[in-house]
Structure 1
Amino acid sequence: MTHSTDLSKTATAAIDPLPIRLIKRVLLVVLGPFYFLYIAFVPLICVGRKGFRGWYWRTVKRACSRLLWLLSIRVDMSDANKAELRGDTDSIIVINHRSHLDGFTLMDVMPDEKWFTFAAKKELCDSPLLRTGFTGAGLVEIDRKSGSVAMDTLSKAVKDMPARRSVVLFPEGTRTKTQSLGEFKAGAVLVARDTGRTIRPIIIHDSDLLLPRGRFLPKSGTIRVEALASFHCDPEASVDEDLARLRAYMMAVFDSN
C-alpha cells in the first residue's frame, strides 16, 4: 500500500509552479482552437501531395506533445524502450486504457521512426472534414455493427500496412473502471493470428490519476509508459488461451508498478 501511495504522489506531483500552469492554460484556451483547426483543415489542401502522410503524421504528433505541455503533463519512457520501438516492425500495438489522455500520451512518447495509426469506429468518420484528415492519417475505419466485418476490415488494413507501421488497439475496449486491467476482447489476437504479426504490448500508468472519469480538465503530473517485449501468438493454442496469456503478461507488469 505504501509503495502504491508513493507512486500516486509521484504521478500527481505538479510539473510547473501554479503561475506557470495558469499561463499555459490561458494559452491553451486562446490559441488552442486556432492550432487544432489548422490540424483539421490542412488535409483538405494538402492530402494529395507527395509525402503528405509522413509530414502530417509528424504534425499531429507534435500537436499532441504541445497539448500535453500546455496541460503541464510529462510523459516518461525509458531510452531503452524508445530504442526498441524505433526498430519495431510487423507488429500490432495493444495498450491498456485508463483515461482520455492515453492516445495523446502514446503519440507524444512514440519515436518518429515508428509509425502507427488507430482503429476507430465508423461514426467518427461521418463528418466530411474529419474523414479527410482521418483518411490522410491512415486511420482504420471500423463498422462495429458486425463483428466479422470489422475483423475482416481490420485484418485487410493491417496486411496492407508497411512493416514499420502498426495499428493500435485497446483490448479492454473502453476505459477500465478497475484498479487492474479489464477483461480483454479477442480482436488483437485474431488479427495477429490472421496476419502473422506479433503483438507489442504497451502499458500506460497513472493517466487515470491525472484525468479520472467525470473530470474535464486534467491535473498536472507525470504519466509513465512501458513497452514490453513482443508477444507471439501460439498457433497450437486456442484464441482464448492466447488472449488469457496476453492479459496475464500485461497485468503482471501493470500490477507490479
Structure 2
Amino acid sequence: MDHESAVVLTGPRGVHASRRALHESIRLHLGFLVLGLICLAVSLTAFALRAVLPRVMSKKIGRRIVTVSARGYLRFLALMGACRFDLDELDALRGMPAMIIAPNHPSLLDAVMILSRLPDAACIMKADIVNNVFFGVGARLAGYIRNTPLRTMVQLGVADLHQGSHLLLFPEGTRTSTFPVGAMQGTTGLIAKNAGVAVQTVFIETNSGFLGKGWSVMWTPKMPITYRIRLGKRFDPPKHTGRFVKELEEYFQAEMAHAQLPEFPVKRPS
C-alpha cells in the first residue's frame, strides 16, 4: 500500500466509511433480532388463540395480528434508518371486492410490506415456511395456504376468494432471479379463472438487491434501502389460463423495464 492510499484509508473519508459500515452492520443485526422477537411473540400468541378460538374467528384475528406486526416491524426499520418505504398506494385496495394481488418478488420483505397494509388478505406461502415450528404458527393461525400440493392450493385459494378475502400470490413462484422479472407460472391464472376474480398487478421497486435471490443474510447492504410499491393494471378474470399467463408476463416485463431496480447479478458486498 502506498502513502497516498494509507492517507485515504486513515483520513476523514476512511473514518467516515468505517463508521458508516459499522452502523449499517448494527442496523442489519438489530433488524434480524427484532424480527426474531416479533415472530416469537406472534407464535406464542398464535398457539394460545388456536387452542381457544373457532377457526373462522382465529383466522380473522390472525390476519390482523400479522398486519399489525408487519407494520410495526417496517416502522422500526424506517425509524432506525435502515429502510424507506412508500406503500401508500396499497391502501386503495382495502375494502375492494375479492381479487388476486399479484406482485413481482425482488426480496423476502415483499410479503411483509403488502400484508402490512392489507389486514384481510390470505397468502400463498412455501410449504416449508407454513410447516416451520417458529415461523409457521402465525401463518397457520391466519389461514395462509401452502403452495403444495397444487390441487389443494388452488382449491383453498378459490375458497378464500369466495369468502371475500384478497389472495396474495407471487406469479413468479419464487424471488426474481433474472431482472427485471422472472418467468410467470400458471397458478395465478388458474386460481383467478376458477374463482372468477380479477388480478391486480403490483410493482415493487427497490434500489438494492437485499434479501433477493442469492443474497446471503451475512451481507450488509448500503442503507437506507428504498422500497416503493405502485399499483398496475387490473386484469379481468381470465378465460384461458395459458394466454393470460403470457399476457401477464409481457405486461410485467414492459412495466418493470423502467423500474428502479439494480442490475442483476447484484454487486455483492466484499
Which ranges in structure 1 are unaligned for 5 or more consecutive residues?
Answer: 1-16, 145-149
Cross-structure match for 1:62: 71
Deviation at 1:64, TM superposition (A): 3.8
The answer as to whether partners of 1:172 and 1:185 remain within 8 angstroms in 2 is yes
Structure 2: which amino acid aligns with 1:224? R
When the two chains are superposed, the root-mean-square deviation of aligned CA atoms in Å is 3.0
Alignment partner for residue 106 of structure 1, among 114, 119, 123?
A: 114
Cross-structure match for 2:188: 188
SS in structure 1 of the partner of residue 90 of structure 2 = helix
Cα distance change of structure 1 residues 25 and 186 upon mapping to structure 2, 3 Å threshold: closer
Structure 2: which amino acid aligns with 1:232? D
SS in structure 1 of the partner of residue 233 of structure 2 = coil
Structure 2: which amino acid aligns with 1:38? A
Matches within 5 A, 1:196-207: 196-206=196-206
Cα distance change of structure 1 residues 207 and 45 upon mapping to structure 2, 3 Å threshold: farther
Q: Does 1:121 align with 2:122?
A: no
The answer as to whether partners of 1:65 and 1:107 remain within 8 angstroms in 2 is no
Deviation at 1:249, TM superposition (A): 2.0
C-alpha separation in 2, matches of 1:44 and 1:209 = 34
The answer as to whether partners of 1:97 and 1:175 remain within 8 angstroms in 2 is yes
Q: Does 1:140 align with 2:142?
A: no
Cα distance change of structure 1 residues 211 and 192 upon mapping to structure 2, 3 Å threshold: same
The answer as to whether partners of 1:198 and 1:231 remain within 8 angstroms in 2 is yes
Cross-structure match for 1:223: 227
The answer as to whether partners of 2:157 and 2:191 remain within 8 angstroms in 1 is no
May I ask how many residue pairs the two structures share in their alignment? 229
C-alpha separation in 1, matches of 2:33 and 2:237 = 48
Cross-structure match for 1:41: 44
Cα distance change of structure 1 residues 181 and 104 upon mapping to structure 2, 3 Å threshold: same
Structure 2: which amino acid aligns with 1:46? L
Q: Does 1:73 align with 2:83?
A: yes
Q: Does 1:92 align with 2:100?
A: yes
SS in structure 2 of the partner of residue 230 of structure 1 = strand
Cα distance change of structure 1 residues 164 and 61 upon mapping to structure 2, 3 Å threshold: farther
The percentage of aligned residue pairs carrying the same residue is: 21
Q: Does 1:154 align with 2:154?
A: yes
Q: Could you give the per-residue CA deviations for residues 122-144 of structure 1, whole angstroms, max 9, x where no partner exists?
A: 33333456543221111112324
Cross-structure match for 1:233: 237
Deviation at 1:155, TM superposition (A): 3.0
C-alpha separation in 1, matches of 2:47 and 2:139 = 11
Deviation at 1:225, TM superposition (A): 1.0
Deviation at 1:38, TM superposition (A): 1.0
Cross-structure match for 1:12: none
The answer as to whether partners of 1:89 and 1:163 remain within 8 angstroms in 2 is no
Cα distance change of structure 1 residues 31 and 233 upon mapping to structure 2, 3 Å threshold: closer
C-alpha separation in 1, matches of 2:28 and 2:139 = 27
The answer as to whether partners of 2:192 and 2:238 remain within 8 angstroms in 1 is no
Structure 2: which amino acid aligns with 1:226? R
C-alpha separation in 1, matches of 2:29 and 2:126 = 32
Cross-structure match for 2:215: 214
C-alpha separation in 1, matches of 2:31 and 2:153 = 37
Deviation at 1:254, TM superposition (A): 1.2
When the two structures are superposed, what TM-score results if normalisation uses the length of structure 1? 0.74
The answer as to whether partners of 1:201 and 1:227 remain within 8 angstroms in 2 is yes
